[in-house]
Every structure is written in C-alpha cells, then in structure tokens.
Amino acid sequence: MLHAEPMRQFTLKQGVPKLRVLHSFLIASPLGQSNRGEKYRMTVKIVFDTNVFVRAMAGVDPDLEAYKRMERECHSTAFSDPLIDEYCQVLGREIGYSQLYFWHEYNKLLSIEKTVHANPQRLESMRTVVDVPVKGKDLKVVQCAAACGCSYIVSSDHDLLELREIKLKLAPKNVLNIKVLHPKDFVHEETNEPVLV
C-alpha cells in the first residue's frame, strides 16, 4: 500500500488520535501560502476529486499512478475542509478506512511539503467567483482548486471532464486557468505553472 510509516506517530501521548490538532495547524497557515511559506503560484498545484483520491488510496490504477506522479514530482496537492470531510466519509463508506488513515496520508504529504490547504475565508470568497455548471461534490473540488490557485483538477467525473478547462476571473486583469484531466491523461501531461494573465 501507499503507507509505510508507523501509525503510532499520529497519536498523542494520551493515545488520542491527532486528527483535529493537525487540521487546525494547517488551517492556520497564512492566506495565499503553502505550508512552506511559498506563494500559491510558485508550484504546480493539483486537486484530486473524491473518487480519484479514494481509488488511489485503494491502490487502483490509473488513479494511483496519477497520485504517485504528484508525489514524485514538484507538485502540491490542494485540500479544503469540505473536501477533506468528503474524502473521509467516502474512504469509510467505500473501503472501510478510518479518518486516521486519511490523516496518516495527509501528514506524510505534509512532511515532504506536498500540501496546500485552502484558507477558509478565501474558500468562502470563491463562492462568488466560481461560476461553472456543476454542483455538490464537484463544486467543492472546483472551489478548492480556485482558492488554492491550482493548475489541474484530476477527475474521472463526467460532468467535470466535460468542462475541460475552467477560466476564473480573480481580478480585472487576473485570470486563473484550470485544466480538468482524467487520471490516465494527467500521468502523461506536461505540467505547467498556473497561467495568470
């Protein structure tokens, strides 16, 4: 599987799972920065839709292959509170993994500086910016991508894939282009930094 690190490092001395402790620390990161303190636009950022993320955790290709590419290369994965809640729910419902399993993976990505977490205030502001013909869980993915300045959404969802590319006007002269790719296409994509024009 993807996780070789011992689970014991993710519990506090009293044996209480370190879930919300880590969560709160990440949310407290400054607006517009990754956990390394870099500006959002300095690295290629990706958000995985829930189905792709869950299948990657279960070791299913091409989702796992896309996820491993993110780990190998200089990319960061974007997360938001609503998306994390959905990841945890689906991991539990579909493959019986607990929240602790998710936070194990999150902490692993954090340790190799592969995470960007959407600031809640910025995420809220994206509700008025993101105007795309999707809703529900798909909209959560797009809002997270917009809040974190992602270059890519990796998805197997038909409605998202139909969009192909999302152009968001963040300011009068600032447009964010987000490509939507199937996992198998992302594996072979020549990734670029976010396009801001």
Residue range 176-190, pLDDT digits in tens = 899 999 999 999 887
pLDDT (tens digit, 9 = 90+) per residue, 2-44?
333 333 333 333 333 333 333 333 333 333 344 444 443 347 8
CA 172 to chain centre: 27
Range of lowest pLDDT (104-108, 114-118, 133-137, 166-170): 133-137
Instruction: Check residue 74 and give its pLDDT.
Output: 66
Tokens of 100: 């602790």
Go through the domains of the chain in sequence order and give each one's CATH number: 43-190 (3.40.50.1010)
CB 78 within 8 A of CB 148: yes
pLDDT (tens digit, 9 = 90+) per residue, 114-165?
899 999 888 888 877 777 777 788 889 999 999 999 999 999 999 899 989 9
Mean pLDDT over 55-81 rounds to 92
Tokens of 184: 């198998």
Q: Rounded to the nearest 5 degrees, what angle is found at the Cα of 97, between the Cα atoms of 95 and 99?
A: 140
pLDDT (tens digit, 9 = 90+) per residue, 17-27?
333 333 333 33
Task: Encode 128-144: b = buried (16+ Cβ within 10 Å), e = exposed.
Answer: eebebebeebbbbbbbb
Secondary structure percentages of the chain, helix, strand, coil, to 5 = 45, 20, 35
Q: What CA–CA distance (Å, rounded) separates 190 from 14?
A: 46
Count CA atoms within 13 Å of residue 192 on its CB side: 7
